[in-house]
Structure formats: C-alpha cells, structure tokens
Amino acid sequence: MTVSEFFGRFFLVRRCASCRELLPYDKREEAFCDECRMRWNVEKTQECKVCGRSVCECICMSKVLSGAGALCHHKVVLYSSGNPVVHNTIMFIKHSNNPRVTGFLASQMASVLAADKDLPELGAENCVITFVPRGRRALVENGFDQSELLVRALSDKLGIPWARTLHRKVGGREQKKLSATQRVKNVKGLFKPVEGLDKIVGGKRIILVDDIVTTGASMAACLSYLTRAGARETVCLSVASTQCEKK
C-alpha cells in the first residue's frame, strides 16, 4: 500500500451527500451511499403531473420561464423540503465545495440533455454554458457559487465552453422567503451583464444553469439579459425543480 492509498483509506473522510454517513473505502468516489443512491434514482423516475413523463425526461417549465422565452427546462429531480435525499443534496452543494458531488450532479444534468433527441445541436462551436449567479451574502458566507461549480463540471462533461455572463448586485431579499409574485418583483434590476456580453452570447445557443428552480424568476431575469445581448435561444437546466406549471 502506498502512502497516498494509506492516507485515502484511513484519514480521508468522505460522506454521503444526503444522509452524511461515512462512505466505505470502495465507495469513496460516489456521491451517495447505496441506499441514498437508490432513493435518488427513484426520484428521477417520479412522474411530472403536467406531461406525464418521468421528471428526468420532462421539459415542462414555469409560466415565468415560458414568458421569458426559454426553449425548455430540463431538470434531474423534483424538489421538496420534505424529501430528504433531494433536499439534503441541494443543501450539501450550497454549503460544501465538493468536486465529487458536484461532478456527479453535472453528469446527471449532462445525461438529461443527451436523452432529449429533440434539442437543437449543442456543441463547442455554437453553444455557451452559463449560470444564475448566487446572492452576495451567501457567496461571502460560503466562499463559492455552487452554480458556477456545477457549470465548470458540466463544461468538462459536455466539452462546451462556459462563461460568467452576469453579476448579482448588492441588495434584494432572499428569494426563498418570498411569494411567487414577490420573487418576480425582487429580481428586477438585481443582475447586471458582464462587459462585452454580446460578444460572449451573440448568435449562440445558451445552457443556463441553476441548482434549484422554484418559480423561475431569477432564471427568467437572467435569460432576458442574454436574449437582449443576442443569444439565439436558451435551454434552462437545473439539478432540481418544484412541480412544473406548463409545458
């Protein structure tokens, strides 16, 4: 046994992203323990109440996203605070910069895109991946943006370049504490484009990523900037989403 193997076996602590139990050595590269992985896979097959497809095949989106001109909204699982495996995993990536778990979720997002044969071509020449930037307070408290980490990992999986396209201004209230109507009002003027945004997204297909989408207000606000800068069309993509409203 080498020194690195010894350290990895006896000193490197890796936990399940959901139940936080220690992973056995032979599962050290996994995101979940066996039980939580099984539960995660079950959640992916839950039926969307709108289109009847399993959620990982569903492209339904909220009225807010539809109104903003999104092409579709792909997601891996449906979110509920009462669903431990999904809720705990989202909280894990919000508070822990963990490449093992981020890489797993990026692979899951890449898979749902690959499974949609109706999507237009998404390649390195005609597409850019970007993300909804995290709130300033959470960024300061945690030291990283979980959506940016997801985008970096997704870029590696798909071979498509990523770019920061928007900054989040100081101010605004926490979206999770607001009603759907309040969320839409809260995000108005909350973002600002990076310099030269038109050169980054002009004529490109965009994959816009967030960790979790509820009403879609933040994503729709970002999408509007991309569209005005000349983006060709935007595919919305998230790890989780609350129940959809329409196709």
Mean of pLDDT values over 53-70: 94
How many angstroms separate the CA atoms of 104 and 205, rounded?
A: 24
For 7-55, write each residue's pLDDT tens digit: 444 445 799 999 999 999 899 999 999 999 999 999 999 999 899 999 9
Q: Is residue 85 part of a domain?
A: yes
pLDDT at res. 135: 85
In a domain, 173, yes or no: yes
pLDDT band per the 50, 70, 90 thresholds, residue 188 = low
pLDDT of residue 173 exceeding 90? no
pLDDT at 121 over 60: yes
179 located within any domain: yes
The whole-number pLDDT of residue 209 equals 98
Comparing 185 with 76, which gets the higher pLDDT? 76
The answer as to whether 169 is a domain residue is: yes
Instruction: Output the CA–CA distances (angstroms, integers) from residue 136 to 79, 139, 169, 196, in the order listed.
Output: 24, 5, 8, 22
62 has pLDDT over 50: yes
What confidence tier does 80 reach under pLDDT thresholds 50, 70, 90? confident
Q: What is residue 6's predicted lDDT score, i.e. its pLDDT?
A: 38
pLDDT at res. 8? 46
Residues in the chain, total = 247
Mean pLDDT of 118-128: 95
Q: Is residue 182 part of a domain?
A: yes
Residue 29 counted as domain residue: no
**Domain enclosing residue 118, as ranges:** 53-241
The Cα 80–Cα 212 span in angstroms is: 11
135 lies in a domain? yes
- Give the count of domains, the chain: 1
Determine the distance from the C-alpha atom of residue 64 to the mean position of all C-alpha atoms in its chain, rounded to a whole number: 17
Q: What is the pLDDT of residue 41?
A: 97
Q: What is the pLDDT of residue 223?
A: 96
Note whether 101 and 17 are within 8 A (CB).
yes
- The mean per-residue pLDDT over the stretch 121-148 comes to 94
The closest alpha carbon to 75, from 96, 104, 55, 46, belongs to 55
Predicted local confidence at residue 81, as pLDDT: 85
CATH code where residue 202 lies: 3.40.50.2020
| H-state helical runs in 116-178 | 136-142, 146-158
In this model, does residue 174 exceed pLDDT 60?
no
Averaged pLDDT for residues 157-165: 98
Percent of all residues in the chain with a pLDDT value above 90, rounded to a whole number: 77
Q: Classify residue 138: in a domain, yes or no.
A: yes
- 194 class by beta-carbon count within 10 Å (0-12 exposed, 13-18 middle, 19+ buried): middle
Number of helices followed by number of strands (H, E) in the chain: 10, 6
